[in-house]
Homo-oligomer: A and B are copies of this chain.
Amino acid sequence: MAMTVGELAKRAGINLETVRFYEKQKLLPEPERTGGGHRLYTDADVERLRFIQSAKAVGFTLKEIRVLARLREEDAGASCEDAMELARRKLAEIEDKLKQMQSIRRMLAGFIAACPEKDLGHCQVMQGLEKVAAKDT
């Protein structure tokens, strides 16, 4: 059930040092320890890290995620006005991001759809984009 920090990092797919960093940043609660001081984690911590990764991927800062993560694990029964207000604000932010994302998606989909679907031969205009993509993507 319990796992070491190395194990946790591997399962969440992040650097071990990052786990300690997140702990300092209060994104992770202080974990249990062995007698010798080694950290002990549970599956809930893996989930929490995955949530953090998701939130990061969609553009939230660690500061914002600290708040989101707290909401996420809060017992809903214990909610109050302030938390609700915060949740509503964050929800509005997310809907906004969703719209922006959908607009970018439309743009990309449109680009792809506009492709002649034929004559996919040699390209002069956009040659070199491949190299760019290799480095930048």
A interface residues with partner B (beta carbon < 8 Å): 51, 54-59, 63-64, 66-68, 70-72, 74-91, 94-98, 100-105, 107-112, 114-116, 120, 122-123, 125-127, 129-130, 132-133, 135-137
Contact = CB atoms under 8 A, between A and B. Distances in A.
In the A-B complex, the 4 residue pairs with the smallest Cβ-Cβ separation, listed nearest first, are A80-B123, A76-B114, A59-B59, A78-B125
Contacts of A103: 54
Could you tell me the dominant secondary structure of chain A's interface residues? helix
Contacts of A64: 136-137
A70 B127 CA distance: 13
A122 B86 CA distance: 16
A111 to B, nearest CB: 5
Given A86-B129, A86-B137, A95-B105, A58 B55 contact: no
